[in-house]
């Protein structure tokens, strides 16, 4: 895929999949028209980089559907200078979008091989200083680096993780898919002092959040483990 073709496909993605489906933040649309999604998908999936759906990556994970990345980013209301925690680096694509909007991002990934690959991609795009990728249990957040103006979770939790709520700054926003396998609800939590406002923001399907604040690691060969490859697709 050459740069001209990729640019044309990005423009079509923005108009049809994002703007056409209700994404209204022009800054989000502009950044997603610039970030080269083809740099974040496996070599064998380059021709599918701009399709309207999630794609599998290494370690049984996915790169989320473009619409879902835009929707979650729009809900965060990212502004330059914000400190954002991302739980689940994956390929690094969502982190690149957040950094493109001017956020300083700490991204936590539980799979070391994904974290290393994402660091390399982000550095290659000149975003290494804006995004710090660390390996760990993202369901517990990063207490030493808190509070955060925004927290986005790119995997589904069985409930809103209490540790992440506690790490929100006053006025901070948490976006997280919540629910069991097969279907979840995208939740927005906004902190107002000691009060936390929750909103439901639409159905979705993501890979499970594994960790102390999420799901237990599925047993090897279990039906749940086999089904994980089908998670990550929005049904909006």
Query: Does residue 163 fall inside a structural domain?
Result: yes
In terms of residue numbers, what domain contains 168?
Answer: 51-230
Residue with tokens 């739980």: 87
Decide if 169 is inside a domain: yes
**pLDDT > 90: what percent of the chain?**
86
Strand ranges (DSSP E) for the chain? 55-56, 62-63, 83-87, 104-109, 131-135, 148-153, 168-178, 184-192, 195-204
Q: Rounded to whole angstroms, how far apart are CA atoms 64 and 163? A: 24
- For the chain, the average pLDDT equals 92
Here the CATH number for the domain that contains residue 141 is 3.40.50.150
Rounded-to-5 percentages of helix, strand, coil across the chain: 40, 25, 35
Six token digits for residue 11: 């423009």
Question: Does residue 24 have a pLDDT over 70?
Answer: yes
Residue 33, domain member (yes or no): no
| Residue 4 within any structural domain of the chain | no
* Active site members: 64
Is residue 8 situated within a structural domain? no
Which pLDDT tens digit goes with each residue over 79-92? 999 999 999 999 99
Q: List C-alpha distances in Å: 96 to 92, 133, 158, 173, 228.
A: 6, 11, 27, 19, 24
**Could you tell me if residue 213 is inside a domain?**
yes
The domain total for the chain is 1
Q: Is the distance from CB of 96 to CB of 122 less than 8 angstroms?
A: yes
pTM listed for this prediction: 0.91
Question: Does 5 fall in a domain?
Answer: no
Residue 192 is assigned to a structural domain of this protein = yes
Encode pLDDT of 160-179 as tens digits. 999 999 999 999 999 999 99
């Amino acid at each position: 895929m050459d740069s001209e073709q990729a640019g044309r496909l990005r423009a079509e993605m923005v108009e049809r999949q994002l703007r056409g489906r209700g994404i209204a933040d022009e800054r989000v649309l502009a950044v997603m028209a610039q970030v080269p999604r083809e740099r974040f998908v496996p070599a064998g999936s380059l021709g599918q980089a701009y399709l309207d759906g999630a794609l599998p990556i290494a370690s049984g994970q996915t790169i989320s559907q473009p619409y879902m990345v835009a929707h979650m980013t729009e809900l965060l209301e990212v502004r330059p200078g914000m400190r954002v925690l991302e739980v689940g680096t994956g390929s690094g694509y969502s982190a690149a979008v957040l950094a493109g909007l001017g956020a300083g991002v700490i991204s936590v990934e539980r799979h070391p091989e994904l974290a290393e690959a994402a660091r390399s991609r982000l550095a290659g795009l000149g975003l290494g200083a804006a995004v710090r990728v660390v390996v760990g249990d993202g369901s517990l957040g990063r207490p030493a680096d808190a509070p955060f103006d925004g927290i986005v979770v790119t995997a589904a939790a069985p409930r809103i993780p209490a540790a992440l709520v506690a790490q929100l700054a006053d006025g901070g926003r948490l976006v997280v898919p919540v629910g069991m396998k097969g279907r979840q609800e995208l939740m927005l939590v906004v902190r107002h002092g000691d009060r936390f406002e929750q909103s439901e923001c639409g159905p979705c399907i993501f890979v499970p959040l594994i960790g102390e604040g999420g799901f237990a690691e599925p047993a090897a060969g279990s039906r749940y483990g086999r089904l994980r490859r089908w998670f990550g697709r929005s049904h909006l």
